[in-house]
Chains A and B, each alone.
Chain A
């Protein structure tokens, strides 16, 4: 069984890899490319810990095959910050103590970033439904929502300048 050659873009950089047909995108990221920021919590698309952005849409990378990345643009948690400058969602997660164990955090941050890519004016309810696919067992989501809403506020101010 020969491996498939995939050419794609990950976190703004061209990337190439070989993968088996049945390998998930999550396995490729973690095991082939060393991008272990995306986490495996369920491998059935229920927990959202492996959330990545594919061509602008959030996807559970455990439900996507590695070969499906061909020609696409993928953003993972490792590509959310701009160099040493954290994305406002990341910064606000820290300021609001929106993480306890930190395991679901990459998925939540990627999903929240994607939300704020689509709108800078989400209501709390919209944010709650947007993030309903990301399980967090530690925080009760309170501080997560506060961080996301606060990040939206910061980004609105930045956009207004």
Chain B
């Protein structure tokens, strides 16, 4: 069924209080580190102090002998996993790499790489034991920067890594894991027709997802081999799958229970601690809890990829783009798997272009293995492309939104990576931005305005949900996606809408892996779309049952019953004359009409609608210090249909803020030995409340017809435009074109110092 007629909706589109809200404002919600188990030990992880080194020897005997220590594990306690691609998390992953990321085998590949772990009766004893583990290293030359890692004479991380995607097949190992290309039309012909060509190189830095909750888990392995894993992650089924594979356990023997999750943004779509804790628990026979420190989080997890973005755009003087070329070199960290693929695919997806050539390189170096981060890959390539488009607009003296409008992708546009767009709202976001009062306000000295757009695919995938009618007429919704930003509310709202009952009568729960069917993780902006579809279908099945039960009570045919306003009604005069029966009345009698009323649905949801956004940013630059103040920010986005508008706005505001942090401040600082120098929130500066204005939101609604309520993913695309929007605003304010992130005060003031005159911008 479809519920696209907005006027007919009673619950969807309103802003009720989230079902888990009270627990979260009174401190009762249980996050990863809040759980304990009886007899629990504390686990701690020993990490490499070297960026790249061979492990010559690990001696754990002294640690094991320390009173209070109950288990010590190294990679030797794990099966040596075969090289096998995994499709469990978000983005590419290899089981062998993940195993070696959890505990290093043979070599350490970055400062902070886990090498051993202990479990002890107290945290203090565990800490002491870590110091007693002796690791002899043979330090190897290391490489941090992506282009240095691609150099002919670069230190090689993996002797068995040969570049994929090049012909002939290379015979020498390389740090370039993969080369990919996307081609549409004839790029040479395109550039031959161009009247203006802009060619520039941009760089972004790897940044951490910086969820405030460090990774944490509590696990227990029973004497019968049954494992319980309680942890903070973006997917309990993901945790289960990885633990099973890495430790060679049957999936049926693992029950993964999701805690509340204190932020993830993609960074909790893989495991670090759970397999290690299980190994410690198995060895010690006791439950084991491990909680990362913030330093562990920075040194050992995430980050998002950074990289170089070389953009060449050719256009007619009218502004029509005739050729676009892009070369991306993305940091994968210690193991292959940067999001360079989506980076390539998203870069030009906002535009209707005939001639495109895109090349991407996935490059390993001695940094932590990258993890997904909100629209993984897209913010980097879009920073380059959207900055370059702005440079083109300035060169041609065309309004940057008008230039985007002229070249905009729309329904029927064939993307450079293949698919043809349908039901997209990009143009609508550009027009809404152009017509927004923000775009027309006057600016003062050293103030500037920038715009930028962004694209993200959004995904669907496997989801399960159950709807159970309780005997008093309340309803339980059971789903399998950790609620990272209010999704319980959306699920309850969709169920309430279908059932025709009050939102408050529906209680959603996020179930463990034994209590609901398989559900792919919370990521890809998929939950409201895919799991929402499963919830809707389960509620519809329940409605069918309710109608049958009413029919049985009335002794008429189920086809002669209709469901509206939460009640069964005879469908017309021929059906007979009966008083309507409410859901509660039918529920009360369910024992006498066929038993409990419930339905579970498992689907592989298809038809996720892509998300487009266009942002406007005003800045003021302090010419003396190079400090950039965000004066005003408006985010326009095609959200499909906002199920709970407040949480949609929240996704937009949060994504924008992360993008502003990426633009202005966030970066990893390595010393000459490849050690991370800023593994804490004092020196790795994420945006704070006083850095920001209110983030204004404009929700354009172009419903996605493949979803019953028209929803499309909203969580990721908001982080795509901000870096270019900020850079373009800085260029507008002071004529300094910042092509390298972060645009932090020292970097901007260095540029301003050199600037005196000429200015770069068209004055």
Contact = CB atoms under 8 A, between A and B. Distances in A.
- A and B bound? yes
Interface of A: 20, 22, 30, 35-44, 46-47, 49, 76-78, 80-81, 86, 90, 93-97, 99-106, 109, 125, 127-129, 131-146
Contacts of A30: 33-34
A86 B263 contact: no
Interface stretch (B209-217, B455-463, B723-731): B209-217
Contacts of A146: 694
Q: Which of A76, A103, A125 has the most CB of B within 10 A?
A: A103
8 contacts: A30-B33, A96-B646, A128-B689, A135-B686, A137-B209, A137-B265, A137-B654, A146-B694
B260 A102 contact: yes
B29 interface: yes
B17 interface: yes
Nearest to B655: A140
Contact of A90 (B26, B264, B294, B484): B26
Contacts, number: 182
B212 A47 contact: yes
Contacts of A97: 15, 18, 486, 644, 646-647, 649-650
Contact of A44 (B486, B655, B680): B680
Contact of A41 (B213, B654, B691, B694): B213
Interface of B: 15, 17-18, 20-22, 24-31, 33-34, 124, 209-214, 260-265, 291, 293-294, 484-486, 644, 646-647, 649-651, 653-658, 680-682, 686-692, 694-695
B24 A102 contact: yes
Contacts of B293: 43
A100 B294 contact: no
B647 A100 contact: yes
A138 B25 contact: no
Given A37-B27, A44-B680, A105-B24, A137 B486 contact: no
Nearest to B31: A103
Contact of A138 (B22, B26, B263): B263
Contacts of A81: 26
B211 A102 contact: no
A35 B656 CA distance: 34
Nearest to A133: B688
Contacts of B694: 142, 145-146
Contacts of B680: 42, 44, 46
A1 B498 CA distance: 63
Nearest to A38: B27
B25 A132 contact: no
B25 A135 contact: no
Contact of B27 (A36, A96, A100): A36
Nearest to B697: A142
Given A42-B681, A101-B262, A138-B650, A106 B689 contact: no
Contacts of B124: 20, 22
Given A94-B22, A129-B689, A132-B688, 9 more contacts: A42-B680, A43-B294, A47-B681, A90-B25, A104-B262, A105-B25, A136-B689, A138-B263, A146-B694
Contacts of B21: 93-94, 99
A37 B294 contact: no
A139 B688 contact: no
B646 to A, nearest CB: 4
Contact of A101 (B26, B260, B658, B689): B260
Contacts of A76: 27
Contacts of A131: 688-690
Contacts of A125: 690
A37 B31 CA distance: 9
B461 to A, nearest CB: 22
A135 B212 contact: yes
A35 B262 contact: no
A138 B34 CA distance: 20
A29 to B, nearest CB: 10
Contacts of A127: 689
Contact of A143 (B484, B650, B686, B690): B650
Contacts of A135: 212, 681, 686, 688
10 nearest A-B residue pairs (beta carbon): A37-B27, A103-B262, A140-B657, A102-B24, A77-B27, A97-B646, A46-B681, A140-B653, A100-B485, A90-B25
